[in-house]
Amino acid sequence: MSSPSRFERQARFAPLGDAGQARLEDARVLLVGCGALGGVLAQSLTRAGIGRLVLVDRDVVEVTNLPRQVLFEDRHAREGTPKVEAALESLERIGGPTRFETHALHLDADHLTTLAQGCDLVLDGTDNLATRYLINDYCVREGVPWIYGGVVGAGGLILAVRPGVGPCMRCVFPDPPPSGVLPTCDTAGVILPAVGAVASMQAGLAMRLLADPAKFEPALIELDVWHGDVRRIALPRAEACPCCGRREFPFLEAPAADTAVSLCGRNTVQVRARGQRPDLDRLTERLTSTAQDVNRAGPLLRFAADGFRMTVFPDGRALIEGTEDTERALAIYDRWIGS
Ligand SMILES: [Zn+2]
C-alpha cells in the first residue's frame, strides 16, 4: 500500500479533482501585500500547493499587525523585519511544492509589468486604493484575472475580475474617492475573523479560477462576520467603463514620478499625492479620534501618529517627519492620509 499523497483530501473534492490539483501545482500567482489579507492568502495558497508564489510588500512588521497578520510573530515586530522576509520564513516552514519569490518594494507600474509577467492570477492583499486601480488597469489590459479583497471593521468586499467576461473594478467603482473619505483599518479598526473570511473567500475563488477558468462566474461578494451576512451581487459590465469598455489605462500609463523624496538632513520625507486631493476637513474629522495633536492651522493639517509628525498641504502633499526611508513614508502616508 502506498502512503497517502499530500493533496489526497484536497483532490478528492470533486470540483477540483486530480486535474484541478495539477493545474494549481503548475500555476504562478502574484500576491500584492503580505499583511492581513495577504498573510491568509499566502498561507492558503501555499498549503494548496500553488506552483509559484510571487510576494510583494513594501512594509516592515509592527506590533500592531500581530492580532491579524497570521504569518508574523513578536520577534519580527521587535526586529522590524520586512514583511516579505518574515512571510517567507513562515511559508517555507509549511513545506510542499510551492516555490517563492519575494520583493520588498512599493509596487509601481514598472514593477507590476515585470512581476506579473507569466502569472495566471493576481491577488490583492493590499489595503491601498491606488495599487488596486493600477492592478485593475494592468490586468484588464493584459487579460489576466485578479481578485480584489477589501476589509474594514467586521466586514469586507470581494470582487473577482475576469477581463472580458464580467465587470472590472472600474465598472463597479469608476474613480478613486478623494483621500480621507473612506474608512480604513487604521481609523475604523479591523478584526481577524473579517480578514480570515475575506481572504478565505478570495483563496477559494482563486483555486477555482486556476483549476477551471472557463466555468468561473465573476461576482461582487459582500460579507460581515459580526452580523453573519454574506451577499452575492451579480453585476453587469458597465458599457461606458473607461477601463474594460474604452480601454483607457491612466493608472498604468501615468508617467512614473518620484512620489516620495527624502529631505536631506531633516529626517523628513516629502510625499506627493498620487490619487485625488484629500478632503482636509473630513480627514481632520476622522483623525481627531485616532491620531494625536491634530491641528488645523489655516490651510495646513498637522498631526502625529505612529511616532511620526505629519503636515498635509491642500494639494495632498505631505511632510512625514521621523524617517528618511521613502518606502516607509509612503506606507505611513497611505495609512493615515490615504492613497
Ligand atoms: Zn470595467
**pLDDT for 163-180, tens place per residue?**
989 999 999 999 887 766
Whole-angstrom distance, CA of residue 50 vs CA of residue 300: 48
Domain 260-336 fold: TATA-Binding Protein (3.30.310)
The residues annotated with a catalytic role in the active site are 185
Look at residue 44 in the predicted model and tell me its pLDDT: 98
CA 287–ligand 1 middle distance (angstroms): 33
pLDDT tens by residue, 17-31: 999 999 999 999 999
Look at residue 256 in the predicted model and tell me its pLDDT: 56
Grid coordinates in use for 306? 505612529
Position 339 confidence tier, pLDDT thresholds 50, 70, 90: low
CA 167–ligand 1 middle distance (angstroms): 5
- Point out the least confidently predicted range of 139-153, 211-225, 268-282: 268-282
Look at residue 330 in the predicted model and tell me its pLDDT: 87
Residues 6 or more apart from 168 whose CB is under 8 A from it?
136, 139, 140, 161, 237, 241, 243, 244
In this structure, CATH architecture of domain 8-253: 3-Layer(aba) Sandwich (3.40)
Residues in the chain: 339
Read off the pTM: 0.80
Position 271 confidence tier, pLDDT thresholds 50, 70, 90: confident
CB 326 within 8 A of CB 262: yes
pLDDT tens by residue, 47-88: 999 999 999 998 889 898 999 999 999 999 998 888 999 999
CA 106–ligand 1 middle distance (angstroms): 25
Q: Mean pLDDT across the stretch 312-316?
A: 80
Provide CATH 3.30.310 ranges for the chain.
Answer: 260-336
Provide CATH 3.40.50.720 ranges for the chain.
Answer: 8-253
